[in-house]
Amino acid sequence: MKPFECVYFVVHHGLASKILRFARNHGIFGGTIFYGVGTVKNFWLEVFELSHTEKEILVMVAKPGYAFRLMKLLYEELEMEKQNHGIVFSVPALSFTGGVHETDLEGEDKEGKSMYHLITVIVNKGDAEKALEAAQSAGTQGGTIINARGAGRHETSRLFLMDIEPEKEILMMIVKKENSQAITEAINREMHMEEQGKGVMFVQEVSRAYGLYHKEK
């Protein structure tokens, strides 16, 4: 078992702070909130739900037993079995540096393995929608886009003798494992990720996921 889990909550604007308080009351402290946009198109309600709506992404770190128990509690508390009520998933973290404080959460959750991958694509601002369209052509139905800034070795320009870090976009998608390779290949063909400065893409195993909806075309 991995020593830590990174737990991601993707919820409507305003809910992340409430989740932090809930977690604190159940013995897990600390987290980071990002702001993103849901990108599911048409009538599909799939991973990350809704079409171009404001989202909050809360990231917390905890040991697996505590993380999975908290996920289950919040899945029930937020009624995530219903559409548009958000999702929660976790990915393994091989190491973690920083304060992680936990108390007993009434034992560990022992459910089976997930069937999903998390695909993360980091590209220049304005390119995330293009990457999403490529992913949709290969079978995914949506994702969340987060604004960020690049700080890579080859990603700075100069203005008045100062280094300027260009804006980036992060596209996150949860996909079924059997579709993961086709989706990453489609993104790579469209975005030419192998070329310097075009962006990066990585795939992670999802340990546990709640609140996902997969509708057939």
Q: Where do the domains of the chain lie?
A: 4-112, 116-205
Q: What is the CATH number of domain 4-112?
A: 3.30.70.120
Highest CATH level, class, for 116-205: alpha beta
pLDDT over 80 at 129, yes or no: yes
CB 2 within 8 A of CB 68: no
Angstrom distance (rounded) from CA 11 to CA 57: 7
**When comparing pLDDT for 151 and 137, which is higher?**
137
pLDDT over 70 at 63, yes or no: yes
CB 143 within 8 A of CB 47: yes
Mean pLDDT computed over 79-96: 82
CB 9 within 8 A of CB 47: no
DSSP assigned state of 153: T
Mean pLDDT computed over 188-215: 83
Kindly report which listed range (24-38, 56-70, 105-119, 145-159) carries the lowest average pLDDT score.
145-159
What amino acid is encoded at 212 in this protein?
L
User: Positive or negative, the Cα torsion across 173, 175, 4, 72?
Assistant: positive
**Domains 4-112 and 116-205 alike in fold:** yes
pLDDT over 70 at 99, yes or no: no
Mean pLDDT computed over 103-131: 73
Per cent of the chain over pLDDT 90 is 21
pLDDT over 50 at 151, yes or no: no
Q: What is the pLDDT of residues 5-60, one digit of tens each?
A: 889 998 888 898 899 889 888 877 778 888 877 665 544 344 444 455 778 888 88
pLDDT over 60 at 150, yes or no: no
**pLDDT reported for residue 132:** 93
pLDDT over 50 at 84, yes or no: yes
- Short-list 20, 100, 108, 103, CA closest to 72: 108
- Tallying the residues shown for the chain, one arrives at 217
β-sheet bridge partners, residue 9: 58, 88
Banded model confidence at residue 118, pLDDT cuts 50, 70, 90? very high
* Residue 147: its H or E element: strand 144-149
DSSP assigned state of 172: E
What stretches of the chain show up as alpha helix (H) in DSSP?
16-25, 64-77, 128-137, 177-191
Mean pLDDT computed over 145-149: 76
